[in-house]
Copies of this chain bind each other. A is one copy, B any other.
Amino acid sequence: QINAQRLWDSIMETAQIGGTAKGGVCRLTLTDLDRQVRDWFVAQCEEAGCTVTVDDMGNIFARRPGKDNSLPPIAMGSHLDTQPTGGKFDGILGVLSGLEVLRTLKDTGYETNAPIEVIDWTNEEGSRFAPAMLASGVFAGVFTRDYADSRKDREGKSFGEELDRIGYRGTEKAGDHKLGAFFELHIEQGPILEDEEKVIGVVTGVQGMRWYEVTVTGFESHAGTTPMHLRRDALVGASRMVEAINKVALDHPPLAVSTVGLMEVRPNSRNILPGDVFFTIDLRHPDDEVVVAMEAEVKAELDRIAGELKLEIKVEQVWDSPAVKFDQACVEAVRTAAAENEYSHREIVSGAGHDAAYMARVVPTAMIFIPCEKGISHNEIEKAEYDHVAAGANVLLRAVLEYDNR
């Protein structure tokens, strides 16, 4: 059994790094605050007797040796970056529970067969640099290092520059680090486990998701003197598009979701008709075919609206993360671990993307979910219960040992 209080205290300690007035965390990837939490994490891992390495995507690996160090390590982990208005648990729980497992093994002197590792993946959130899960994506061969380095935030700073700046560019090529399995503990970020009063979600896969960037161009002119029939207002167009995108998900009930989360209006002046609007689209469904159908419907709607209002439009797909099925043996290890601990549990498909989704391409992978209050995440008031946090970490520990003992 892990030390629940120590794990909880570590979570609360990291929540201070970028802590917000509303009790959340703003620790965007590759900022100074990200460096600060990384430094803290590396120090804690070394204190727990681990060897720390960093790859050229800034992914951090802390290893505790096993009896047979020729075996590929069994890894745990998640991410320490957050949304601009993020919570204390999203990602952090998975990394610090991994650390807690290593601390517990050290305390008890338990010797595993394979080495055990905990990983902090860079830029999971995708909020600062799109797409999400960028560095685990490079690790899994989905993206190239050059592509990742070239991704820019909305201020024009690139991932590569910022990784160099915070001093977390390691030498090992991302993906060269050999792993035997990967387990990620995470809050559900949705309402299902809480609703059904289950403590553990045995995650069998991740739904499909695609991201797009849209620029709508009209013509800037004076709000007081431009008659309605002569207007080419990019914001009227973008607004009609937001409504249409919302409707496309409503047309595929009950599982489809679509979101416009980011919008920028230019020149953004009260008495100028907007000349340009930039916005993003996020489409998701557990079935990739439905995602493809939604994309086609969205594109047709955007074209129709642009034509109607004489606007120009540019639509670029910036991410395609197909639905994922996790490894049967890993999922089984999670189910067994939950059962042995006598925690109530159910199978579940993840609505959110996770580093585990990319890891599943290159190494046997599974995930463990615990409930979060009202399913709320990507919000500063995100909450997880002490007992659920402990349960999740215990299942993580047991699943890793289960897998190690096969």
A253-283 to B contact mask, C-beta < 8 Å, 1/0: 1101101111111111111111100001010
Q: Are A261 and B257 in contact (CB under 8 A)?
A: no
The answer, yes or no, to whether A300 is at the interface (CB within 8 Å) is: no
- Report the Cα distance A273→B83, complex, angstroms: 12
Contact residues in B for A256 (Cβ distance below 8 Å) = 228
A232-250 to B contact mask, C-beta < 8 Å, 1/0: 0101101110110010011
Central interface residue in A130, A224, A378, by most chain B CB within 10 Å: A224
The answer, yes or no, to whether A191 is at the interface (CB within 8 Å) is: yes
Contact residues in B for A228 (Cβ distance below 8 Å) = 246, 249-250, 253-254, 256-257
Q: Are B85 and A272 in contact (CB under 8 A)?
A: yes
Q: Are B246 and A261 in contact (CB under 8 A)?
A: no
User: Which single member of B132, B225, B271, B282 contacts A126 (CB below 8 Å)?
Assistant: B271
The answer, yes or no, to whether A156 is at the interface (CB within 8 Å) is: no
Q: Are A267 and B83 in contact (CB under 8 A)?
A: yes
Q: Are A272 and B261 in contact (CB under 8 A)?
A: yes
A122-164 to B contact mask, C-beta < 8 Å, 1/0: 0001110010100000000000000000000000000000000
Smallest CB–CB gap between A320 and chain B, Å? 14
Binds B, one of A9-17, A58-66, A173-181, A215-223: A215-223
Smallest CB–CB gap between A285 and chain B, Å? 10
- Report the Cα distance A352→B269, complex, angstroms: 14
Smallest CB–CB gap between A327 and chain B, Å? 22
| Chain B residue at smallest Cβ distance from A351 | B225
Q: Are A377 and B225 in contact (CB under 8 A)?
A: yes
- Report the Cα distance A126→B229, complex, angstroms: 25
Q: Are A224 and B257 in contact (CB under 8 A)?
A: yes
- Report the Cα distance A250→B228, complex, angstroms: 7
Q: Are B376 and A272 in contact (CB under 8 A)?
A: no
The answer, yes or no, to whether A100 is at the interface (CB within 8 Å) is: no
The answer, yes or no, to whether A204 is at the interface (CB within 8 Å) is: no
Contact residues in B for A270 (Cβ distance below 8 Å) = 126-127, 130, 211, 259, 261-262, 280, 282
Q: Are B84 and A267 in contact (CB under 8 A)?
A: yes
Known: A240-B243, A243-B240, A378-B269. A235 touches B222 (CB 8 A): no
- Report the Cα distance A236→B279, complex, angstroms: 13
Q: List 25 A-B contacts (CB under 8 A).
A: A83-B267, A85-B220, A125-B271, A126-B270, A222-B352, A222-B376, A223-B259, A223-B261, A223-B282, A224-B284, A224-B352, A225-B352, A227-B254, A227-B257, A228-B246, A228-B253, A235-B260, A239-B243, A240-B243, A261-B270, A263-B263, A263-B265, A264-B268, A270-B282, A271-B378
